[in-house]
Amino acid sequence: MLERPNYLKNLKSESVVQQVINCLTDGMVSGELKPGDRLPSEPELAAQLGVARTSIREATKILTYLGVLESKRSEGTFVTGGFRESMIDPMVYGVILNGARDFDSLMELRELIEVGIMRLAVKKEEPEQLDVIRQKLDDFEAAAAGKAGDNIVEASFQADDAFHEAVSALCQNELVDKINRVVRTLTYSVRHKTVETMIKTGRSREHIDVHWKMYDMLVSKNLDGLEEFIHSTYFLDAVKE
C-alpha cells in the first residue's frame, strides 16, 4: 500500500469539504504539491482521506473556481501553474461580503499598498520604465486639458489609473501588481470622485502636480516623507465634500 502524503492527514471537526480543501492547501503550502503537479484521482483521494467522493468532487470544484486547481479532460486535476486573473474576483467579493468596505479601512489599505509599491519601485525600476511613467503624465495633462475627448472627468480618471498601473509595473512583481489591482478595484468609487471633484472645483493642476512629484521621487530615488506625501495625494477634503 502506498504511503499517504503528509498533507492528506486526518480530518478534523470542520465541514468535510472544508477539511479536504485544507488538506490540499496544506500540501501546496508545504511544497508537497507543486505548480503543475497532478492530484491523485478522485477515488484515491476519497480512500486516503476516508471521505465520500462527492466531498472530494466539491472541494476540487471550489479550488478550481478560485483558480488554484485546473481540470484537464482525460488527464486529471492539476495544481495551477501560476497566478491567474480568476483569483482576483473571489478576493474582491470576500472583502466586500466581510463588511470591510468602510471608508477608513479602505484608505488605510490603499495607503499601505501604495507606499510599499513606491519603495519597491525605486529598487527595481529601469530607465525605459520611467519613460513610460513620463508619457502617462503627459497623457494626464492632455486629458485634464480636454484634449483626450469630450468627457474630461472620465478621460482624466482613465489617465490617472494608467499612471498608477505603470508605477505598479515598475516593481516587476506580478503578485504585487495583482494585489494593487484588487485594492484599486475596491477604491474605484472614491478615486473617481476625487478626480471628478478636483476637476469641477478647478483644482486639476494641483491634482496633476502631485503625480509629477511622485515621478520626481521615482527618478531621484529620494523617498523622504513618502508616507505623508502619499496620504496628501488622496485629497480627502475633496472626497468628503
Give, for all 241 residues of the chain, the pLDDT tens digit: 456 666 665 555 458 888 898 899 888 888 899 999 999 999 999 999 999 999 999 999 988 887 889 988 889 999 988 766 666 666 565 665 555 457 788 889 899 999 999 999 999 999 999 999 999 999 999 999 888 777 999 999 999 999 999 999 999 998 898 889 888 888 888 899 999 999 999 999 999 999 999 999 999 999 999 999 999 999 988 776 5
Residue 21 shares a structural domain with residue 114: no
Q: Is residue 114 part of a domain?
A: yes
Domain span including residue 96: 87-239
Query: Which cell goes with 158?
Result: 482613465
Query: Which cell goes with 44?
Result: 484515491
| SS3 call for 150 | coil
Question: Per this entry, what is the length of the chain?
Answer: 241
Q: Which helix (H) or strand (E) holds 117?
A: helix 103-124
Residue 96 shares a structural domain with residue 41: no
**Residue 36: which CATH number?**
1.10.10.10
Residues of the chain by 3-state class (helix, strand, coil), percent to 5: 65, 5, 30
**Short-list 162, 84, 176, 196, CA closest to 124:** 176
Q: Which helix (H) or strand (E) holds 69?
A: strand 69-72
Q: Is residue 110 part of a domain?
A: yes
